[in-house]
Structure 1
Amino acid sequence: MESGKKVLIIDDDSRNIYALRLVLRTRGIECLDVSNATLGLKLLEEENDVSVVLMDMMMPGVDGYEAMEIIRNTPGLEDLCIIAVTAQAMIGDREKCLAAGASAYVSKPIDIDVLLELLNEQISGEK
């Protein structure tokens, strides 16, 4: 992923946010982070240069599935890259996330190399 791109991390676990932010920032990627989907949706209204959202799927209140539906139905955000990040790694969970509006899916614990490859693919359009 190119340096200068902005990633929004939406996760209710501060340890996940810290680890992701640390890895991404060392690669020159600007990170914003919030602890719930409601704050993430508000931030997306204010920030118009977010390239990717890393969306935790299991959060209290508005979960990742509901947040993705809202994003996909918001004018100007319909095509925003959303990578579902979830501890759910059961058969069918990937398909469920993609059907709900995720651009891509990665399971926890996150393999950083896989995440960086996904970020590169999603931002550049290269496979």
Structure 2
Amino acid sequence: MKNEKEILIIDDDSKNIFALSAVLKAKKFQCISALSANQGLKMLSSNKNVGVVLMDMMMPEMDGYEAIGKMKSDKELKNIPVIAITAQAMTGDREKCMEAGADGYISKPVNVDELLLLLNQLID
């Protein structure tokens, strides 16, 4: 069943995590979260049940672009799909996220139907 894998939400804003978690839990997804890219990468290394990562692209210290790069260069993590989530919904942003290694792209405010469609495509 698709929903056995966990979704890791990496976002430096706890309100965004709360909103995404609430919507996804209502749709029977299991969610865990991290408030920084470093924390998220540590969680990925220790938790083998993450099926997809929702990655905020604009975070202090390490942004989503750098975090995706680290994931995609790690043999243990490179096959975990990443959906880039960003408020920077300007021309070229989708392409920039995809070039960084993201498997999908959603702009804020998040369209829940679009997110669910992407999740169902990416979670095996």
Structure 1 and Structure 2 fold alike (TM over 0.5): yes
Question: Does 1:31 find its partner at 2:34?
Answer: no
Question: What TM-score comes out, normalization by structure 1 length?
Answer: 0.94
Give secondary structure in 1 for the equivalent of 2:9. Answer: strand
- Residue identity matched to 1:91: T
- The residue that corresponds to 2:14 in the other structure is 14
Deviation at 1:97, TM superposition (A): 0.1
- The residue that corresponds to 2:82 in the other structure is 82
Counterpart-to-counterpart distance in 2, 1:7 and 1:123: 9
Deviation at 1:35, TM superposition (A): 0.4
- The residue that corresponds to 2:49 in the other structure is 49
Counterpart-to-counterpart distance in 2, 1:28 and 1:89: 28
- CA deviations on 1:17-54 (whole Å, 9 max, x unpaired) are 00000011111111010100000000000001100000
Aligned length, in residue pairs: 124
Counterpart-to-counterpart distance in 1, 2:65 and 2:11: 13
**Percent pairwise identity:** 52
Counterpart-to-counterpart distance in 2, 1:67 and 1:110: 21
Structure 1: runs of 5 or more not aligned: none
Counterpart-to-counterpart distance in 1, 2:5 and 2:46: 16
Contact 1:7 1:53 in 2 (8 A): yes
- CA deviations on 1:65-102 (whole Å, 9 max, x unpaired) are 00000000111211110000000111100000000010
Question: What TM-score comes out, normalization by structure 2 length?
Answer: 0.96
Counterpart-to-counterpart distance in 1, 2:48 and 2:5: 12
